[in-house]
Chain A
């Protein structure tokens, strides 16, 4: 399989980034929900949030890479068979997914860095706090992070349902394209 995208198919880089981000988003969502309910004496009480933050920051890097790659190697165009409403829905949905991802990651970052502390990434390096001390920063960012995460995951499910609709009802190549097949 080719690395880069072509007008006919997605390349390996885009495919890996897409499924990697999808898996990470759902993983972080589950980890996040689970870790906030942990008992104080759980052995995961400190490591789970540390893991959540470190993976979240790696996801941010992956999303930046995704944007750059989108620019360097544009994805194949939408299928000719799509009607105007499908085109609009696809553009809007994908745009919101990108926006939502960045917003969830940034709001999460703003919780942990609210008092000027940086975020340790797997003990390898520390991402410094850039914005701290906003009024009620950790509380506002916390609410935004929680609600947007639910929104993002809901939108992702909708995105998956749309792909399944293309596959099983419209019987087009939309879903298979993201698995490496060409039209």
Chain B
């Protein structure tokens, strides 16, 4: 009897909860660095070059029941670019590429999230890179969420989008196979 009442209450509670969903706010786990912003670009059409931005921060709000109400914002320190080669990184920071002296940060802020299937979504938003702001669509995938072993609650996603270098006023031409770069975001947020 008591058990049944509790179950009913729980059901009512969850229905109520679903009705007025409060999307939880998450902050990207910078402290433990369970977050990566990587990029991938073709070298001459013969191989993939990978690089990463080591310094960025961001937050998102997310509710699995209402993915379309999710929001995300990320700010990247462009000077933190690292492709495992100091001379190349220096070149990437120069006016030929990221122009970090003039444009030290890149940002992405979502404007709309569209669910595309079980645990997948298209996140539309404005990307500001090299001083140019353009809408981009990130194909995102929900990876998982739940309690962590240390008393917190986490949720993680991975998403990617392709950018044409010329669209963001990146001047250096790396050849016909290297007109586009793929940005890959892999982030874990800690619920606040």
* A110 to B33 CA separation, bound complex (whole angstroms): 30
User: CB-CB < 8 A to A80: which residues of B?
Assistant: none
Can you pick out 18 interface pairs between chain A and chain B where the beta carbons lie within 8 Å of each other? Answer: A40-B172, A40-B174, A41-B175, A49-B87, A111-B86, A111-B87, A112-B86, A114-B86, A114-B87, A114-B90, A115-B84, A117-B86, A136-B79, A137-B86, A138-B86, A138-B90, A139-B79, A139-B93
Q: How far is the CB of A138 from chain B (nearest CB, A)?
A: 4
Residues from chain A with Cβ under 8 Å of B87 in the complex = 49, 111-112, 114, 138
On chain A, the residues within 8 Å of B169 by CB distance are none
- A28-72 at interface with B (beta carbon < 8 Å): 39-41, 49
Asked if A142 is at the interface (CB within 8 A of a chain B CB), the reply is: yes
Chain B residues with CB under 8 Å of chain A are 79, 84-87, 89-90, 93, 172-175
A136 to B86, CA, bound (A): 9
Q: How far is the CA of A179 from the CA of B38 in the complex (A)?
A: 59
Q: A: which residues have CB within 8 A of B? A: 39-41, 49, 111-112, 114-115, 117, 136-139, 142
Q: Is the CB of A115 within 8 A of B85?
A: yes
In Å, the complex CA distance between A20 and B137 comes to 58
Which residues on the A side are within 8 Å of B175 (C-beta)? Answer: 40-41
| A115/B173 in contact, CB under 8 A | no
Cβ of B85 and Cβ of A139 under 8 Å apart?
Answer: no
A114 / chain B contacts, CB cutoff of 8 Å: 86-87, 90
Please name all residues of chain B whose beta carbon is closer than 8 Å to the beta carbon of A142 when the two chains form the complex.
90
Assembly CA distance A136 to B84 (angstroms): 14
With a cutoff of 8 Å between Cβ atoms, the chain A residues found around residue B173 in the complex are 39-40
Least CB separation from B178: chain A residue: A40
What residues on B are CB-neighbors of A139 within 8 Å? 79, 90, 93
**Nearest B residue (CB) for A110:** B86
Among A39, A40, A111, A117, the residue within 8 A (CB) of B90 is: A111
Q: How far is the CA of A49 from the CA of B87 in the complex (A)?
A: 11
How long is the Cα–Cα vector from A142 to B173 in the complex, in angstroms?
Answer: 22
Residue of B nearest to A116 (CB): B86
Chain B residue nearest in CB terms to A137:
B86
Task: Name the CB-closest residue of A to B96.
Answer: A36
**A40-B172, A117-B86, A137-B86 are known contacts; what are 13 more A-B pairs with Cβ within 8 Å?**
A41-B175, A111-B86, A111-B87, A111-B90, A112-B86, A112-B87, A114-B90, A115-B86, A136-B79, A138-B86, A138-B89, A139-B90, A142-B90
A138–B89 alpha-carbon span in the complex (Å): 8
Q: How far is the CB of B148 from chain A (nearest CB, A)?
A: 32
B95 to chain A, nearest CB (A): 11
A45 and B64 alpha carbons, distance in the complex (Å)? 51
Q: A40 to chain B: which residues have CB within 8 Å? A: 172-175
